[in-house]
Each structure stands twice: as C-alpha cells, then as structure tokens.
Amino acid sequence: MPNLMPALSRFQAAKVLVAGDVMLDQYWFGDVSRISPEAPVPVAKIEQTEHRAGGAANVARNIAALGGQVALLAVVGEDEAADSLAHLLAQDNIANHLIRSHDAPTTLKLRVLSRNQQLIRLDFEKMPDLGSLKSVQQRYAELVAQYDAVILSDYGKGVLHEVAAMIAAARAAGKPVLIDPKGADFSKYAGATLLTPNRAELREAAGGWENEAGLTAKAQGLRETLGLGALLVTRSEEGMTLYRADGQTHQPTRAQEAYDVSGAGDTVIAAMGLCLAAGYTLPEAMHTANAAAGVVVAKLGTAVCSFAELEQALAV
C-alpha cells in the first residue's frame, strides 16, 4: 500500500450517520494511600473528574475529529447524563438526534482510577423502551438518504433492536453500511457492506481456529454466509485483515506502544466509514484506519484521532 495521505477537503465534504448505543463515560481520578478501616479495600481520594462521550458517541467523535460531517442517532434518558452527552456532542459539532426516554436512564460507566490504573467500574444501564425504539426507526428512515455512509455501532444495549431493517434501508438508499458487531449471532447483520469484529468477537460468532488458514476459512465463510461486502478483523498486536470475495489484505499493527486499547475499535470503524463516505476503496480505508488506531491506543480511555495526528501517523 503506498503512503496514502488523506485530503482534508474530502473528509470535510463527507457525511456519516452513526446510529447505535451511546453512553457517558465518567472518569474519577485520585490518589490511593491507605486501606479502608471498614473493609479491605483501597480508599481513593478523588482529585479530578472527567466526562467523555462513549459507545456510538465515541465513533461520532472520531469522525468529527478527522474533519467529517457526522450525525448521531441514539436513545438517552431524561437525566443529567443525557444533558452532559448533548453538551459534549455540541462541543464536537456532532448533529444531535438523541431520543429522550422517560423509562430508561442514559447508560453510564463510572471508572475510578489511581495513577492511571483502574480500581473499579460501575455501570448504570437499562434496555430502552419500545416507544423510544420506534422513534429511532422513524428518525433513521428520515435521515439515512441524507448521508454518504451509515455506521451502526452495536454495544448490545438495545438501540439496534431492528438492525436488519436498518441495513435494508441503507442499502435501498444506496449507502454503504458498516457495523461494529456484538454477540454470538451475526446473522442479524446479513447484507451489510462491512463488519468489523475483533478476534474475540469473530471467535464467538464463528468458532475457533488453529492457524492463519483456519482464520481465513472462518472469516471468508462468515462473509459468504452473511452476504457481506467485506469483513475486517481487528487483531490487536497482529494488525488487521480485510476479507473480500477476491481475497484478503493484511495491515500489520503500527509501531506504537499500546497504552489503552479501549475505544480503538470505535476509531477503526469511524475512519473506515468516513473514508468510504469520501470515496476511498476498502483497502485504502483500512490503511487509514490502521494509522488512526495506532494513534488512539497511546491515549487513555475513549480517545480520538485528529486529522493532524492522522497525517503525522501516515507520514511515518
């Protein structure tokens, strides 16, 4: 693959619709110097707090950071966490199509860290109500034709309950639809342009393998069975491999010290979707996404790759 330098103007003209499960990531940073007298647990003296948009919202953040136009469709609660998410989206110039639910809270993940080591994570979540899910489908039908590509970000929280219909609507509108999958049953994603599972997700859906040939057989078999345009398997320290009908293309991992891999999958699918919206081929998009992922793994938590950082990474 030649050194592919992205054109900011192409990214700025590209429009991507992201739909899926959003969450608010809260980080509490503090110092631990003693054990609680009440129980054998560390006492963290909190000195700093931080809020970040997570899940599908982090996918949208990555697209915005790379210069693309992006809209986010998701379900949130009628609560302070939803207000925080809306504020964060506005800061990043992400078009907000958040459906407010009276029955389910915004998914919230609270992490307590000391010296960049996570002590505990507390999750607050509930499946969205049927009324909110119906509103998602209605809004999606109104929006899909206005965008160059669609990303469906599945975190298993329920917003993509009708994912097959969403894929069909995107394909009917002539839009590529990329999906970050969840769970053991990938059949619901049939007909998508691209799936981006990691190794563990692929193994859960297709079964294990013993060697590279076995992995190729599993990936290509799944791609053919589901009628996918392509399957991109992210392989951590092994890089990523794109499987298509005419064979496979591999990208080794970028030379980078991995600091935190959380959110790297969001960056990969965000860059892939933005590149396809901008007219890139799938191998070109993978090359770009691999460079962007190499940037975010060197950052703590749900991070993004800016266009300037991508340019620098691709220049190496």
Residues annotated catalytic, as ranges: 266
Closest CA to 176 of 196, 195, 192: 192
Query: How far from 80 is each of 15, 27, 110, 133, 190, CA to CA, in Å?
Result: 29, 16, 14, 21, 37
**Residues 304 and 296 sit within 8 Å (Cβ to Cβ):** yes
Beginning with the edge strand found earlier in the chain, give each strand of the sheet holding 240-244 in spatial order.
95-101, 69-77, 15-20, 149-153, 177-180, 194-195, 230-234, 240-244, 247-251
Residue where the block lists tokens 């700093």: 48
Closest among 79, 95, 78, 85 to 55, alpha carbons compared: 85
Task: Report d(CA 1, CA 89) in Å as an integer.
Answer: 35
Cβ-contact 268, 274 below 8 angstroms = no
If you search the block for the tokens 């693959």, which residue do you land on?
Answer: 1
Q: How many CB atoms lie within 10 A of CB 266?
A: 30
Are 219 and 209 a contacting pair, CB within 8 Å? no
For residue 160, what are its two tokens?
């993509």
Helices 199-206 and 212-226: crossing angle in degrees, nearest 10, is 70
Contact 65, 305 (CB under 8 A): yes
Q: Count CB atoms within 10 A of the CB of residue 226.
A: 17
